[in-house]
Structure 1
Amino acid sequence: MSISSMEKAELIKKWLDNNLNPEEQKAFEALEDYNELVQLSDKLKQFKAPDYKSDGVLEHILEQKKTKKSKLISFNVMSKIAAVFVIGLSLLYFLNNTDTTVNAIAANKVNTTLPDNSMVTVNASSSITYNKKSWSNKRQVKLKGEAFFKVAKGSKFDVVTNAGTVSVLGTEFNVKNRNNSFEVTCYEGSVLVTYNNKEERLAPGDYFRSGVVTRKKIENVSPTWINNESTFISEPYSNVIQEFERQYNVKVTTENVDTSLLFTGKFVHNDIDIALKTLTLPFNIVFEQNENAIILKSERTK
């Protein structure tokens, strides 16, 4: 039986106060952190107030201020022990409940391995977040942006985005959630996509975009961006420009360019001049390049 963080905190508080009833004691002993908490408590019990031996002067002073001094020493020592204990518990709780986040900055990709040896490649300007502590019970990754997953076989594996969730048992797939668009491509195995409270099952080669499934159209064994190429099929030109900005870490502005036009094609990630020509020639667009700033202009404005 799992308990909430609030219930867990209340159990620990009652344990510290020696105020657990038999049922609560069983629940406390069932906590994943039980052994660590007990070990920390045992170590703190080794702290004790220092012994004071009286001599002629001290004996007189202690006789006069025995009660006051005793209370002060007891309070100081216990305060220090309590402070160490609270800090220890706080650190333990923090370490056990902190998520791990993997970020890929602009113009970079990051490869990472999850606790079950599943592999993830995170695309530029994207991130994934997961919890190592709960991984054995709940394989879940939160995604912002785009990533390619090679999932190790095992229990249910969820990729959660703001737009929808992808669930698998063991497969290879790509998830992209940008510009209010949610896309999933299945390369191996099968994928269950939950979107707008509806479910779609994808087989290898199937492509899902914002509620529409295209069957058996993807022939690649992995997304092209893994190999430093961004590929688009009937994608708004504005989205293509934004992906270009991510892959080259540049700022692009447009002048009299219809960014709603649909673009089908690709650009490379390792040669900005070739990439710009690929993006501009189909629409008769010219470009000006100045360090990290690029201007795209319709030829009508030349």
Structure 2
Amino acid sequence: MLLRSVPLKTSMLGLGATLAFVALFSITVGPMNISLADSAASLLQPNNDLAPHINLVIQEIRLPRTILCMLIGAILALCGAVMQGLFRNPLAEPGIIGVSAGAALGAALAIVLFSELSLQYPTFMNFAAVPVFAFLGGALTTLLVYKLGTGKFGTSVTIMLLAGVAISALSGAGIGFLNFIADDQMLRDLSLWSMGSLAGAKWSGILLAAVTLVALFIVFYRQAMSLNALLLGESEAQHLGIPVQKLKRKLILLTAAGVGITVSLSGMIGFIGLVIPHLGRMLAGPDHRVLLPLSAVLGALLLTAADMFSRVVLAPAELPVGIVTAIIGAPFFLYLLFQQKGRIL
């Protein structure tokens, strides 16, 4: 509720400025020390006096990574906010109910099946095979969890969580089998999906993530009032003229698509979709017209900060960013379980 006394435009401008500063600072972090002034000069002055290798590191390695990091964080936070609104439960998050694991299994399957084509047709792998298989894995997982957890009395969080555990275990077994039969190149690629990494950011992936974020945000924001109505209950929303089941199917598939694309680009990065919507509600309340854009900015901010931490904590080695987000998110999830233990059954 902290931002309710501040106009939304002012709050978003302040958070946007903070995100811009963190993103610029992120470009300076890495094995090669680069100052903020040099980073700004490389980005804002095409004909600068910096050494060519510094411009190369900034513009071809760190800038793409930072942009992709912000896009992935925003997508995951948006999907988490929508999923929690749909199920009216704070424990609903793509990673916890197995959606990310299903998407990762799909991406891993595409890597193994089409490994021989990856060198000859990298565009096919980046824009078709891996994202499509990841989407299918995430969509099938989402629909399965939804079917298992939804009955005539509503959605059972316990069944959703148990289904997520089972699906994550099954997906982990599938990925383990693919690791067992994979060659060295496949193993290097598969390691990306198991722990999450943004080190392989490319401009083609940024384009895919940007288009995904814009499309999801437009659709989700148009349904903000419907999500607000769902907070009252499904029957109340139906009385208001909202086609609840149609809305659920639509948003579930779009959420699965968003998670699938993020997994195809960065691997499994969990808990962003759990932590950020809660933080957004604490700051601005449950209105999805405010919560959705706020979650997108906060998600970008958190993942960018986590990625910076992953690069410096074991420098010059790099900790997978999925481990960092798990360190942040797992205790928060346990806290939510304690808060919900009286209502979870």
What TM-score does the superposition give when structure 1 sets the normalisation length?
Answer: 0.20
Q: Write 1 or 2 for the structure with the bigger share of helix.
A: 2
Q: Write 1 or 2 for the structure with the bigger share of strand.
A: 1
Which structure's CA Rg is the greater one? 1
Query: Which is bigger in relative contact order (C-alpha 8 A, separation at least 6)?
Result: 2
What TM-score does the superposition give when structure 2 sets the normalisation length?
Answer: 0.18
